[in-house]
Chain A
Amino acid sequence: DIQMTQSPSSLSASVGDRVTITCRASQGISNYLAWFQQKPGKAPKSLIYAASSLQSGVPSKFSGSGSGTDFTLTISSLQPEDFATYYCQQYNSYPWTFGQGTKVEIK
């Protein structure tokens, strides 16, 4: 199985900050990587697919990059509604696997 490791596991940031979350795959997955946002008590929301393509309706303050084994999710200017847990997921090969999550909290 491909292991997905996110860092950091949690971070504290202020409104307006630029935030970057890293996701590393245990082997190359090309660009078959997705990012999700999950708020407490809510279903995940799809943000990005193919490492850098925004899902329909997702604001452009979210961006993704990377290929192979190293990927990043960046939020350009953190807003109150962005405080949540973020997950990466590889869909290069079965079984699909998720990172452990990164919790973004208010400083």
Chain B
Amino acid sequence: EVQLVQSGAEVKKPGESLKISCKGSGYSFTSYWIGWVRQMPGKGLEWMGIIYPGDSDTRYSPSFQGQVTISADKSISTAYLQWSSLKASDTAMYYCARLFHSNYLYFDYWGQGTLVTVSS
């Protein structure tokens, strides 16, 4: 059974750093892209970027390029989303999701989400 299990909720202050995780199981972690999606409170879904754990090839949405870093550790089947300096506007739910690949990539399985709250 494919599963993506995300790390727990975080409460941080502005300016702090943070790294959240997404651990894949039940499939070959290095053979599928993983994507990250943001959902701000009461709002819709926003695509942030994707990573191929096999070689760490990464693509970012221009809206998030330079604001976050996506990485992966294939030895422990885990993808990461990190911030070096959080802002209040980073308060949101963050989802990871696996991407199936045929001709194109599309989301199939989703993690349960990690709530990040940034407040002074």
Contacts and interface: CB of A to CB of B under 8 A. Distances in A.
Interface of A: 32, 34, 36, 38, 43-46, 49-50, 55-56, 87, 89, 91-92, 94-101
Count class of interface residues, chain B: 20 to 34
A87 B110 contact: no
B112 interface: yes
B55 interface: no
Contacts of B45: 36, 38, 44, 87, 89, 98, 101
A98 B44 contact: yes
Contacts of B100: 49
B47 A46 contact: no
B61 interface: yes
A98 B48 CA distance: 11
Interface in B2-37: 37
B108 A95 contact: no
Interface string B40-57: 000011110000000000
Given A44-B95, A45-B110, A49-B106, A95 B61 contact: yes
Interface of B: 37, 44-47, 59, 61-63, 95, 97, 100, 102, 104-113
Contacts of B110: 43-46
12 contacts: A32-B104, A34-B107, A43-B111, A44-B37, A46-B107, A87-B45, A91-B105, A92-B104, A94-B59, A95-B47, A97-B47, A101-B44
Given A43-B95, A96-B61, A91 B108 contact: no
